Amino acid sequence: MTPTALPERDADTLRGIDGLEAVDLLIPDCNGLLRGKRVNPGALEKAYAAGICLPASIFAADITGNTTEATGLGFDIGDRDLFCRPVPGTLQPVPWTRQPSAQLLMEMFHQDGRAFAGNPRYLLRAVAERLAALGVEVVVAVELEFYLLDNKLDAKGYPQAPLNAHTGERDATTQVYFIDDLDSYQGFIDEVREATRVQNIPADTAVAEYAPGQFEINLTHRNDPLAACDDAILLKRTIKAVAARHNLQATFMAKPYARLAGNGLHVHVSLYDQQGRNLMAADDKAHAPSPTLSYAIGGLQQTLHEAMLLFAPHANSYRRFQAESYVPLNGSWGYNNRTVALRIPAGEPADRRIEHRVSGADANPYLVTAAILAGIHHGLTQRIACDAPIEGNAYTQTKAEVPRTWQDAQNVFAHSDWITAAFGADFQRIFSALKAEEMRLFEQQITPLEYQWYLRTV
């Protein structure tokens, strides 16, 4: 095909890929997993001109990949195909494949052009547009934590840290922000950095985190929330692919180790007016929040319970919520305080922002960010003032209030009038049914601990 059939940015990308052999057409599902098709380059012209067909049931796929019929997206509608169209500007090379390859993000639509209501990317766009209608420009940055693991499980069948390239032994201590750990995995980090550069993913910082083999790679802020979440989805794909090339496994599971830190997905949000002024900034030295910051925090506090299933969508997600673990247990907020849910990072007033610290790295970044922006919109429109900021250890000054079980979070989400208003009844039904089915399957399993406690004793 000729690049002239593509938007200008994508055409430039295509010209720069010599000998292109395959293109991955990618659409993130409700769990944030990438589904789609691998096509020959000749199919790109059709994809841009008319779209490609994929079944709506990809948004009914549970974490195992099976269709959840209770969503109404499977046999009830004949497992119907809908049209998927490219997201302009997202065609990028894939640097880790043997043959020259590319990837392109897609979105699903009905035949009449309406966006598909179960698509998380559409939900985020809709919320961002509601804030734009208030004259508010949203700037978002995403931080992702992950573990590097040995490809082999230990003797008991559990994950284990990889062998340190410098010592030849498995790291067993916590060395947060330890530069030597970055040196030990320099080959992996350098390859991730190069892969993100090639794909125009704006990754800028690598940090050794709070456990052996745990790292965080930060993405620079974007004034387009959709682009910020596209970056996060594609960064996860990159990290996993590069880890595999180094004979490692990368996991974004919320709590892969029972006694070590969990993996978080932290979202930074700031709000600007149409003249580029930070609406969260306040000039006073007492750190009293501006009205916009107060209302934004107030809305996030009031909607936290109802959105919890989006922040913590899996059974393992709830293992992460433990005291004294840098994971918030309620909607507390504070300045320069990592024990709260809504942290206002240190910095100049002009750089004022909220760091939302609730979600695990296993969550779908589009849905997490949509829930955060919807909570902020609720606070701004309803003028919900926040409570007083927490100074010091929030774990000792506040009570745990977030839903502590998957079942509780699903029940609150399924019956929330605010979720219906913010995301629509169709998505609420689809996501509720999807998680209910996953819970049913999960509860059918018998754990090793049950055999250990009960097999011979009762």
Q: What is the pLDDT of residues 264-321, one digit of tens each?
A: 999 999 999 999 999 999 865 556 899 999 999 999 999 999 999 999 999 999 999 9
Tell me the average pLDDT of the chain: 92
Rounded to 5 degrees, φ, ψ at 385 are -75, 145
Which residues are 250's β-sheet partners?
A: 148
Q: Is pLDDT of 223 > 60?
A: yes
Pull the structure tokens for residue 399. Answer: 């009570």
Domains and CATH numbers, the chain: 3-116 (3.10.20.70), 128-423 (3.30.590.10)
pLDDT at res. 389 = 94
pLDDT at res. 288 = 81
Please, are residues 290 and 361 in contact by the beta-carbon 8 Å criterion? no
pLDDT at res. 285 = 55
Maximum Cα–Cα distance for the chain, whole Å?
Answer: 72
Please, are residues 315 and 435 in contact by the beta-carbon 8 Å criterion? no
Helix, strand, or coil (residue 103): strand
Residues 6+ away with beta carbon under 8 Å from 263? 144, 145, 146, 147, 214, 251, 252, 253, 254, 255, 256, 320, 360, 361, 362
Q: Helix 291-311 vs helix 425-443: angle between axes, to the nearest 10 degrees?
A: 40
Radius of gyration of the chain (CA): 22
Q: Is pLDDT of 95 > 90?
A: yes
